[in-house]
Amino acid sequence: MSDDNTTTSAGTGRLWGVGLGPGDPELVTVKAARLIGAADVIAYHSARHGRSVARGLAEPYLTGRQREEHLVYPVTTEGTNHPGGYQGAMTEFYAEAAEQLARHLDAGRDVVVLVVGDPLFYSSYMHLHQRLAHRYPTEVVPGVTSLSGASAVLNRPLAQGDEVLTVLPGTLPSEELSRRLRDADAAAVMKLGRTFPQVRTAFADAGRLDDAWYVERATTARERWMPLADVDPDRVPYFSMALLTSPSTRTWEATVPRATGETTGGGSVVVVGTGPAGPDWLTPESRDALADATDLLGYRTYLDRVHQWPGQRKHATGNTVEAERAAHALELALEGARVAVVSGGDPGVFAMATAVMEAAEDPRFRDVPVIVLPGVTAAQAAAARVGAPLGHDYCVLSLSDRLKPWDVIENRLAAAAGADLVLAIYNPASRARTWQVAKARDLLLAHREPGTPVVVARDVGGPEESVRVVALADLDPDTVDMRCLLLVGASTTQWTRDGAGRDTVWTPRRYPA
């Protein structure tokens, strides 16, 4: 809570450390949800991969009006070249992050820092609190701790009566852990992951291994639990803990009667095509698959198009990390999650289906079933807006040379143009690719009449939709960007314009003799 002795300037914003609980979205408190929705600025941490568990939990309560501050750790488990080592890199990071938030507070904006679990229980928020709470009005909203979540998963009390509960970090030396575990009534060891081998050794040396439980990702759709002695050390994530529950429970039958817990194995990946825009373009099959998923994963623009049901987790990534996104989906499935990879248009057309199939070749994922569900393609949507330009044979090409060389694109454009095929051209331009449209236009003019119709379709089905038809010779590259799709007519393609200026483009089904 805010310190009564804190001196603050008039007009400054308020800092909130908001706990979101251990992972079940329904364990987010009413107060936390209200503050997230009302905040001017939302701040959250992640490793360099960009996936923030905290943001995923808060996403149902974001309004789209908040500014977001993504605080990316410079180092997690890997090495660092920082002259101060790990501690020096993290100290510098927290100082910079605090000043980043201070600029918002000085401007009068309220800042909510999202925290998994409780803000004052082994959280990164404490480092920001230490640097900012004496300078600004500050309040902490407690959250259900992972310790409480793990106890609930096991259906076993942590401590009763006069028993003493000891909470230990797994980063302690094994000998120190062993000493403390030997004397404990009940104990929880946090921060496992890479520390797990020494933690297991400490339990064994203390003679407590057979009494201990392991809980991973408590309260989420991917939770796991088992006797600590049975854990595979190669599959222990950071979000896990080892527990010695109340001594009175050690004579209980070794069962864990929580109905939702059997998530190991049985995971799957379904790659879902959402069509070119919003929910109206979804097929019933895709809609059912999205509703059945425990985890939704994809490029943020596409994820925003689908409804998030209670208990589902969203994992948003950038637009150019398809391989990493696919591997992440398969890893989630390997741990028991039902993952829906959300793809725009049809997932098999320059989209996520191939990326997932490529990643699934890894022997680790050989038992993970992968299903692809089709969607309305961007080419089909654009064609429907002007009539039937794809009424005869056509070719689909991408102008992006990010994954294939330009000379291959040129050869394929020339071959398709020479074969008198209608062309559907994806990815015509981007901020980094500005010359390909002009080059493609000039190449096509060697095979097509200058008046050949070109449909320039942008954001079909979306709020910024525009569809226009121009002659090939008049195609202006400056009017084409990454959100556009081009349909270039064949020699037989017809183009008419009515008195109201509406264009119709269609390609006859019969080819002239």
Long-range contacts of 472-475 (CB under 8 A, 24+ apart): 472/441, 472/444, 472/445, 472/448, 473/445, 475/437, 475/441
More confident residue, 279 or 146: 146
Collapsed DSSP state (helix, strand, coil) of residue 177:
helix
pTM above 0.75, yes or no: no
Contacts of 156 (CB under 8 A, 6+ apart): 213, 245, 246, 249, 252
List the Cα angle 125/127/132 in 5-degree steps.
90
What is residue 116's predicted lDDT score, i.e. its pLDDT? 94
What is residue 403's predicted lDDT score, i.e. its pLDDT? 81
How far apart, in whole angstroms, are the C-alpha atoms of residue 19 and residue 236?
24
Confidence of residue 9 (pLDDT cuts 50, 70, 90): very low
Half-sphere exposure of 120 (CA within 13 A, CB side): 9
Show the tokens assigned to 431.
């901020």
Residue with tokens 């309040």: 139
The answer on pLDDT for 6 being more than 70 is no
Instruction: Give the CA distances from residue 194 to residues 180, 205, 317, in Å, rounded to whole numbers and listed in that order.
Output: 20, 19, 25
pLDDT tens across 165-186, in order? 999 999 999 999 999 999 999 9
Instruction: Round the average pLDDT of the chain to a whole number and report it.
Output: 87
Instruction: Give the CA distances from residue 29 to residues 36, 146, 336, in Å, rounded to whole numbers and listed in that order.
Output: 11, 15, 27
The answer on pLDDT for 415 being more than 80 is yes
Please give the average per-residue pLDDT across 28-56, as a whole number.
Answer: 91
Please give the average per-residue pLDDT across 208-228, as a whole number.
Answer: 87
How far apart, in whole angstroms, are the C-alpha atoms of residue 505 and residue 13?
56
Confidence of residue 498 (pLDDT cuts 50, 70, 90): confident
Confidence of residue 500 (pLDDT cuts 50, 70, 90): confident
What is residue 7's predicted lDDT score, i.e. its pLDDT? 40
Q: Give φ, ψ of 87 to 5 degrees.
A: -65, -40
In the sheet with 186-190, reading across from the earlier edge strand, the strands are 165-169, 186-190, 240-244, 213-216, 224-227
- Tell which residue, 157, 213, 214, 168, has the closest CA to residue 191: 168
What is residue 255's predicted lDDT score, i.e. its pLDDT? 44
The answer on pLDDT for 417 being more than 70 is yes
List the Cα angle 103/108/112 in 5-degree steps.
75
What is residue 261's predicted lDDT score, i.e. its pLDDT? 37
